[in-house]
Amino acid sequence: MITKQTIDRVFETARVEEVIGEFVQLKKAGSNFKGLSPFVDEKSPSFMVSPVKQIWKDFSTGKGGNAISFLMEHEHYSYPEAIRWLAKKYNIEIEETEQTNEEKEKINERESMFLVSKFAKDYFHDLMLNSQQGKAIGYSYFKERGFTEETIKKFELGYCKDEWDNFTNAALDKGYDIKYLASTGLTIVKEGGKQFDRFKGRVLFPIHSMSGRILGFGGRILTNDKKAAKYLNSPESDIYHKSKILYGIYQAKKEIAKQDNCYLVEGYTDVISFNQSGVENVVASSGTALTSDQIRLVNRLTKNITVLFDGDAAGIRASIRGIDLILEQGMNVKVVQFPDGEDPDSFAKSHSDAELKEYLDTSAKDFINFKVSLLLKEANNDPVKKAGLIRDIVTSISKIPDAIQREVYVQECSNIMDISERVLFSELAQIISKEAANQRKKTSSRSNSNVDPNEPPPEYFLEQEQAQMGLVKGGVSSEKIDQLLILEKEIIRILLLYGNEEADFVDFIEVEDENGKVTIEKESHTNQVSKEVYLHLQDDEIEFTNPLFQEVYFEMIHQLNQAEKIDVAQLTSHQNVEVTSLVTSILMDEENPKRQLSDWERKNIYVTEASKILPKLISDAVFNIRRVLIDRKIKDLITPDPSEEKPIINLELIQDYTNLKIKLYEKLNRVI
């Protein structure tokens, strides 16, 4: 178990903008940073990071927190794993106390799979570098491919012995459960209990997540066995999804952001050879057709992607479909084709570092020029085929979300293909119109049928938004939003934003004159906001109905009793992720870029700052809580108990509560 002193050092040292900057391309926006959401596809950045508050919020999904919670949300780390990752990044030595059996049992299924995968990576790498068979077979193969020892260590390459269960036995001896060896695909378990190593006799390429966790492996066979696949990947699992990862993204992410460009290749050795030649901003799709999830990984780091093709025409035709997917993400695409018989790996080995970089710079074409040069040969002066080629290019242009970019590409296509812009714009308009009609048809079909299991109804999105606000526990709810929860959250918001400030407050005092008439008089005093709220809630013995709000409130009152002020930093670094998420969500709401778009001052609408009307904010929130509680009490009193034969309704008590309610409305300046 990691000691509290280590955790405190991590929180003191880690910078949220540096941590998130390893996964998301951030740009300065006033005192904050902004970027595209790493959790959903979006065209306009709604992900905000505050270096001053050391928190972040994704306004697309409602998620938020600190550096720890980002790693937990984005990389699916447990709390201790996130602490370890940060400690490693900032060179902080981890002090630990021994875990109890109960604590060990709390490690979840996914975490167990990650632990097994890390053990496998270390085992295969060590075996290749230090065992006789590993050196003679695995290490020799990589050296023959021209990889240096530094490169082999950088990518943590390995080797699995050509024995049926060498790795499996080693893992079991170390106490790893066969259940997780099987679920990660490292061990194949047959009926009857027979088990053997999936990657027996193969050299191994560990596949890292963006943060460096081991997700799976790619294994290459070293024999000429025609019955066995040349390359074998880990099977799909809870931690490995081939269509959602890119080989080399962990090693390349910093250089991609620095160069503001990403080279996309096909295979593992292409990535490694480029790295060894000094081109480190390169990733591979690992032999799969390019997917939107893979493109989104790159999109977090740069808007520019250069696709590298070898000289194999059939392979190019199969891969060129990925260009349209890249364009749909609003990215800038260039293409480099290597000479016949060459691929990125062979070209990097047969040319100097300078020659490789020069070729990449001078051979890069935009996607229109590339498509024309590739497909015009097939048209062979056939007017019908040429028309088909033009439609193909215009279809690609239609995928671009930016209208100005589309127009520029139409002009370029007009010049290259010697066809009028008017015809191209007409074709483009038809394609876009057809796509819009198809989209409307889908929407209409859903609203008419209400049975599409794949697309949730509009109410779902409203309910999800409510859940993100902390008003509905756990997501969708069929019940109406509870007014009390909204008011409770307002109390928490006031305490977080203004709790340590002082303000002039007004007390409402009931005064009875000589005739027995009761009037309400005002009495002013100065107090700290948090203390004023506490006194009001204590007087009425009000408790929060939402457990999360209650926990945050108790935490703040504890701080108030200890140091007479609220320490927001302690709340944003709270071990309870739900507390962190709620607090950061409230703190970052004012940074919401969608709210800033309103630009009220330009429209001569001047909004009063909340800090200037604090007393009214607090009195409204507290009095409204009282009002809702009284309404509920009256409702309970007038609703008969079905278990009673002759229910008695206490009219006198109802009248008392109603009179109290009237006084509250007077204080709120409302009409009953």
Q: Could you read off the pLDDT of 430-488 as tens digits, one per residue?
A: 988 888 888 777 666 655 554 444 444 433 333 433 443 344 443 334 344 577 888 88
Q: Please give the CATH topology (third level) of the domain spanning 4-104.
A: DNA Primase; Chain A (3.90.580)
Q: What is the rounded average pLDDT of the residues 398-408?
A: 88
Lowest mean pLDDT among 94-98, 349-353, 581-585, 663-667: 663-667
Q: What pLDDT is stored for residue 220 in this prediction?
A: 95
- Please say if the pLDDT value at position 46 is more than 60: yes
- Please say if the pLDDT value at position 634 is more than 90: no
Output the six-digit token pair for 24.
């998301």
- Please say if the pLDDT value at position 262 is more than 90: yes
> Residue 394 and residue 415: Cα distance in Å, rounded?
13
Q: What pLDDT is stored for residue 116 in this prediction?
A: 95
Q: What pLDDT is stored for residue 475 in this prediction?
A: 39
> Residue 347 and residue 359: Cα distance in Å, rounded?
10
Output the six-digit token pair for 204.
């191994």
Backbone angles phi, psi at 512, to 5 degrees: -105, 125
Strands (E), 331-484: 332-337, 365-366
Spacing of C-alpha 316 from chain mean position: 32
108 vs 8, residue with greater confidence:
8
276 vs 474, residue with greater confidence:
276
Output the six-digit token pair for 150.
């530094």
**By the 8 A CB rule, do 516 and 582 touch?**
no
Q: What pLDDT is stored for residue 465 in this prediction?
A: 38
Q: What is the rounded average pLDDT of the residues 513-542?
A: 79
647 vs 284, residue with greater confidence:
284
**By the 8 A CB rule, do 432 and 410 touch?**
no
- Please say if the pLDDT value at position 408 is more than 80: yes
Contacts of 452 (CB under 8 A, 6+ apart): 445, 446
Contacts of 670 (CB under 8 A, 6+ apart): none
- Please say if the pLDDT value at position 623 is more than 80: no
Q: What pLDDT is stored for residue 476 in this prediction?
A: 37
Q: What is the rounded average pLDDT of the residues 43-58?
A: 89
The top-level CATH class assigned to 249-433 is: alpha beta
Contacts of 646 (CB under 8 A, 6+ apart): none
Q: Do 4-104 and 108-240 agree at the fold level?
A: no
> Residue 313 and residue 336: Cα distance in Å, rounded?
13
* Best-predicted range by mean pLDDT (119-128, 314-323, 454-463): 119-128
- Please say if the pLDDT value at position 522 is more than 60: yes
Q: What pLDDT is stored for residue 467 in this prediction?
A: 42
Distances in whole angstroms, Cα of residue 228 to Cα of each of 200, 219, 269? 11, 12, 20
> Residue 257 and residue 298: Cα distance in Å, rounded?
9
Q: What pLDDT is stored for residue 479 in this prediction?
A: 40
Lowest mean pLDDT among 305-314, 399-408, 544-553: 305-314
Q: What order of strands is seen across the sheet that includes strand 214-221? A: 158-159, 202-208, 214-221, 231-233
Q: Could you read off the pLDDT of 301-311 as tens digits, one per residue?
A: 899 999 998 86
Q: What pLDDT is stored for residue 664 in this prediction?
A: 58
Q: What pLDDT is stored for residue 15 in this prediction?
A: 93
Q: What is the residue-averaged pLDDT of the chain?
A: 82
pLDDT band of residue 139 (cuts 50, 70, 90) is very high
Distances in whole angstroms, Cα of residue 227 to Cα of each of 45, 232, 424, 453? 49, 12, 51, 41
Q: Could you read off the pLDDT of 52-105 as tens digits, one per residue?
A: 888 999 888 888 889 988 998 888 787 888 898 999 999 999 887 766 666 555
Contacts of 433 (CB under 8 A, 6+ apart): none
Amino acid identity for residue 2 in this structure: I
Lowest mean pLDDT among 157-171, 293-307, 316-330, 384-398: 316-330
- Please say if the pLDDT value at position 187 is more than 90: yes
Lowest mean pLDDT among 92-101, 517-526, 655-664: 655-664
Closest CA to 69 of 26, 11, 27, 117: 11
Q: What pLDDT is stored for residue 104 in this prediction?
A: 56
> Residue 438 and residue 444: Cα distance in Å, rounded?
10
Amino acid identity for residue 406 in this structure: R
Q: What pLDDT is stored for residue 569 in this prediction?
A: 84
Backbone angles phi, psi at 283, to 5 degrees: -135, 165
Q: What is the rounded average pLDDT of the residues 111-115?
A: 90
Angle, CA of 223, 286 and 350, to the nearest 5°: 70
Q: What pLDDT is stored for residue 364 in this prediction?
A: 93
* First-to-last C-alpha distance (Å) of the chain: 58
| CATH tag for 108-240 (out of 3.30.360.10, 1.10.1660.10, 3.90.980.10, 1.20.1300.10) | 3.90.980.10
SS3 35: strand
- The percentage of residues in the chain with a pLDDT greater than 90, rounded to a whole number, is 34
> Residue 326 and residue 661: Cα distance in Å, rounded?
60
230 vs 648, residue with greater confidence:
230
Spacing of C-alpha 315 from chain mean position: 33
Q: What pLDDT is stored for residue 447 in this prediction?
A: 52
Q: What is the rounded average pLDDT of the residues 227-255?
A: 92
Q: Could you read off the pLDDT of 192-239 as tens digits, one per residue?
A: 889 999 999 999 999 999 889 999 999 999 988 888 889 999 999 999
Residue showing tokens 């990449």: 360
* Diameter over CA atoms, the chain: 109
Q: What is the rounded average pLDDT of the residues 94-123?
A: 80
- This prediction's pTM: 0.68
Domain boundaries, the chain: 4-104, 108-240, 249-433, 483-635
